[in-house]
Structure 1
Amino acid sequence: MTETEQKILMMISSSGESKAKAFEALNQVAEGQYDKARALLKEAQEIDLEAHKVQTQLITAEMSDSEDKPEMSLLMVHAQDHYMTSQLARDLIEKLIDVFEKKEGK
């Protein structure tokens, strides 16, 4: 496995972990645990930052004039999909928490 493939797999893994934390936060909302939910979303965001760093490295390398720049691959497209959906899940769940808190008058 190449170094680039390892980075891409780390991006997929981080994105999956972030999305799992976001849905765990939503489960906490269902139990009325808003502080726990917000803490889990913060964890999800921090995990997303790791995936974002890898994404930035790969995009920067692809844009370089270097001869060893990474090629676009199906694996990278897959990683990008995971990263984007984890961000969407986190953002949507954050808004849902706001809605439920407002509804309960918190």
Structure 2
Amino acid sequence: METINLDKTAFQITLHGGNAKDLAHDALVAAKESDFEKAESLLEEAEKEFNEGHEVQSKAMQKDDKDNRIVPTLLLVHAKDHLMAARTEITLIKELIELHKKLD
């Protein structure tokens, strides 16, 4: 079975999670300026980044079986936390954008 580079995996997950959060925050800024088309476009990009990070994570998890256990490092745990924080922020920012639309 192919081995996995945990550091590379962690950095990829962190990168995509960070990109997703940045794009979601940019979407919120656009919504504050009443540019809802731009906000929606940025949210779509944020979702794509999140999904790419999730895919990296899922591939790593598939390699973790009873014969080939992956021992998580602090870096890998941090990366997963970063990705899940991105999910939470995207979800909350979507709700905030909906409120901006109602107030506009």
Tell me if TM exceeds 0.5: yes
* Identical-residue share of aligned pairs (%): 29
Unaligned ranges ≥5, structure 1:
none
The aligned residue for residue 94 of structure 2 is 94
Once superposed, what is the RMSD of the aligned Cα atoms? 1.3
The residue that corresponds to 1:73 in the other structure is: 73
Residues 6 and 76, structure 2, Cα contact 8 Å, conserved in 1: no
Partners of 1:6 and 1:46 lie apart in 2 by 20
- How far the C-alpha of 1:66 sits from its partner, in A, is 2.8
Point out where structure 2 has 5 or more consecutive residues left out of the alignment.
none
Could you say what secondary structure the match of 1:96 adopts? Answer: helix
Matched residues, number: 101
State the partner residue of 2:35: 33
CA distance in 2, matches of 1:66, 1:57: 16
1:61 maps to which residue?
Answer: 63
Q: TM-score, normalized by length of structure 1?
A: 0.88
- Give, in whole Å, the separation in 2 of the partners of 1:49 and 1:65: 26
- Aligned partners of 2:24 and 2:89 also within 8 Å: yes
TM-score normalised per structure 2: 0.90
